[in-house]
C-alpha cells in the first residue's frame, strides 16, 4: 500500500465510529458502481510472456559484459 493510502487509512481510523461507517458505506457504493478493471487495462498482465523464449537472460548477461568492458 502506498504511503498516501496509508495516510488516508490513518485519517479514517481517527474518525468517530459513526463517520467511519459513513465512509465505509460510501466506499461500498462507489465500488459497486465502478466497473472492474479489464485484463487489457492491467499493465503487468500485458507484459507477461513478452520475453518468453527470447533468451532474455543471455541478452542481459551480454549487456552487462559490454558495460564492464566499457568501464
Task: Give me the average pLDDT of each 10-residue run along the chain (71 residues).
Answer: 91 96 94 76 62 70 85 71
First to last CA, the chain: 39
For position 10, what pLDDT does the model report? 95
Residue 6: the pLDDT is: 93
For residues 40 and 46, the answer to whether their CB atoms sit within 8 Å is: yes
Cα distances (Å, whole numbers) of residue 50 to 39, 40, 59, 61: 15, 14, 14, 18
What is the tally of structural domains in the chain? 1
Q: Answer yes or no: are the C-beta atoms of 23 and 12 closer than 8 Å.
A: yes
- Boundaries of domain holding 32: 3-70
Amino acid at each position: 500500500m502506498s504511503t498516501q493510502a496509508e495516510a488516508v487509512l490513518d485519517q479514517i481510523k481517527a474518525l468517530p465510529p459513526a463517520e467511519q461507517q459513513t465512509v465505509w458505506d460510501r466506499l461500498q457504493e462507489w465500488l459497486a458502481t465502478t466497473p472492474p478493471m479489464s485484463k487489457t487495462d492491467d499493465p503487468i498482465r500485458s507484459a507477461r510472456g513478452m520475453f518468453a523464449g527470447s533468451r532474455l537472460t543471455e541478452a542481459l548477461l551480454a549487456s552487462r559484459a559490454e558495460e564492464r568492458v566499457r568501464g
